[in-house]
Amino acid sequence: MGQWAKRDDTIVHEEDPYNAEPVLSALDRLPLTPLDTFYSRNHGPIQQIDPDAWRLEVGGLVDRTLTLSLTELQQQFSHRTVVATLACAGNRRAELSAVRPIPGQTPWGPAAISTAEWTGAALADVLGHTGLRPRAGHVAFVEADAAPRPGGSRLFGGSIPVAKAMAGEALLAWQMNGVPLPAVHGGPVRIVVPGYVGARSVKWLQRITAQEHPSGNYFQAMDYLLLPADADPAEVAAGRGMSLGVAALNAAILSPNESQTVPAGPIQVSGYAYAGDNREVARVDVSVDGGRHWQQAELAAAPSPWAWRLWQLTVHLPPGPAQITARAWDTSATSQPEHAEHLWNPLGYMNNAWSRVQFTCAPR
Ligand SMILES: Nc1nc2c(c(=O)[nH]1)N[C@H]1C(S)=C(S)[C@@H](COP(=O)(O)O)O[C@H]1N2
Ligand SMILES: [Mo]
């Protein structure tokens, strides 16, 4: 176990800031991801905040501003529990980097995604208490700066539209899988926005501001943008990027793994599928011939409308080189694009191409 209590086999892309994803076998077949396995994505230092000293300010276009301690937040609002998947917009970037290099961005595999049971207060309840002025179109979150650095720091933040903030599933979470939210995941309190890219689930939450326009925070306005394939990342400043928010339909094979050797015969294929805001995973197709023929995987029951659905299928393969392809469909009858080549973008976001693994079947 390292400093942040992750499994020893965790793939640490960067120590500082800490960016790590689990090995695929650790994620496989578990509806809830254990805390020692949950991926962690950080743009700056992990903030260590004393829960007793923590204060939340709610302001901007509200009728009454509010300052709350953790005890007040916990005592004044109903406790809600939501099982929700968090997925980084950079999940599966490595497959895009294989198409064309994406310098300076973490080369995430398919495990920058995890699912937990989050407990906290509904953002809608807190905003119901402060009231929202009619001009409020967006609700912005900013992290606390527990250790101000010389020269100032670039605090992480972002916003969601008011309708999403008032929808009930967005939480001010202080618990994850039944324990107090660990610092590495944003404790004492973070926002959890189910159905949106992970970047909107701001950790070490300090301030909530109702405002007319989307957040101008660096990480929302200048990063986490989908640029056209021919754009230069420097053109972000010219407003060429599409702002990311709602998560895209995605799926990945977690077993077997790339380059593995498995005995020929019946082979258990398994993985996850995850749909964005207000859509659910409806079907997962698996192909052993690169997409000419498809079989339907068995879908596990959805633990909540905001969580991934795990799937599995037994396929029969002869000895020799083998490949498996998987793709999901959501309740809007949308499926995933075939090739990562067609999704390549300069910052490497939102890769949801068909998931493929190549491996070898050994004679039994
Ligand atoms: N304050 C703060 N919040 C943050 C981030 C961050 O760097 N700082 N990273 C965001 C991103 S990009 C993701 S994908 C998720 C990751 O959450 P996790 O580390 O709990 O898995 O947190 C989001 N919230
Ligand atoms: Mo992210």
Domain ranges of the chain: 3-243, 250-362
201 close to ligand 1 (CB < 6 Angstrom): yes
- What whole-number distance in Å separates Cα of residue 48 and Cα of residue 27? 27
How much is the pLDDT for 2? 78
- Do the beta carbons of residue 126 and residue 174 sit within 8 Å? no
* Distance in Å, CA 222 to ligand 2 centroid: 14
How much is the pLDDT for 134? 98
40 close to ligand 1 (CB < 6 Angstrom): yes
Radius of gyration of the chain (CA): 21
**Which pLDDT band, with edges at 50, 70 and 90, does 238 fall under?**
low
Give the percent of the chain with pLDDT over 90: 91
Provide the Cα torsion 167, 172, 177, 183; round to 10°.
Answer: 150
- Do the beta carbons of residue 260 and residue 360 sit within 8 Å? yes
pTM (2 decimals)? Answer: 0.97
pLDDT of 149 above 90: no
Average pLDDT over residues 330-343: 97
> Which ligand neighbours the alpha carbon of 156 most closely?
1
Correct CATH for 3-243 of 3.40.50.10860, 3.40.50.720, 3.90.420.10, 3.40.250.10: 3.90.420.10
115 close to ligand 1 (CB < 6 Angstrom): no
The ligand 1 atom at the shortest distance from the C-alpha of residue 185 is 20
User: Which residue has 């049971």 as its token pair?
Assistant: 117
**Of residues 188, 193, 117, the one with CA closest to residue 159:** 193
- What whole-number distance in Å separates Cα of residue 313 and Cα of residue 15? 36
How much is the pLDDT for 364? 86
* Distance in Å, CA 104 to ligand 2 centroid: 14
- What whole-number distance in Å separates Cα of residue 207 and Cα of residue 67? 9
The ligand 1 atom at the shortest distance from the C-alpha of residue 143 is 1
How much is the pLDDT for 83? 98
- Do the beta carbons of residue 173 and residue 16 sit within 8 Å? no
205 close to ligand 1 (CB < 6 Angstrom): no
86 close to ligand 1 (CB < 6 Angstrom): yes
**Of residues 261, 311, 320, the one with CA closest to residue 288:** 320
pLDDT digits (tens, 9 = 90+) for 102-133: 999 999 999 999 999 999 999 999 999 999 99
* Distance in Å, CA 183 to ligand 1 centroid: 11
How much is the pLDDT for 232? 85
How much is the pLDDT for 152? 67
CA-nearest residue, atom 10 of ligand 1: 199
Architecture of domain 250-362: Sandwich (2.60)
One-letter amino acid for residue 282 of the chain: A
- Do the beta carbons of residue 143 and residue 47 sit within 8 Å? yes
**Which pLDDT band, with edges at 50, 70 and 90, does 210 fall under?**
very high
pLDDT of 273 above 80: yes
**Do the domains 250-362 and 3-243 match in fold?**
no
Provide the Cα torsion 123, 126, 131, 132; round to 10°.
Answer: -20
pLDDT digits (tens, 9 = 90+) for 155-170: 999 999 999 999 999 9
200 close to ligand 1 (CB < 6 Angstrom): no
Q: Mean pLDDT in the chain?
A: 96
How much is the pLDDT for 270? 98
pLDDT of 237 above 90: no
How much is the pLDDT for 72? 98
The ligand 1 atom at the shortest distance from the C-alpha of residue 87 is 14
Average pLDDT over residues 21-44: 98
Average pLDDT over residues 230-248: 84
* Total count of residues recorded for the chain: 364
Please, is 223 exposed, middle or buried when counting C-beta atoms within 10 Å of its C-beta (0-12, 13-18, 19+)? Answer: buried
User: CA-based angle 61:122:307, to the nearest 5?
Assistant: 125
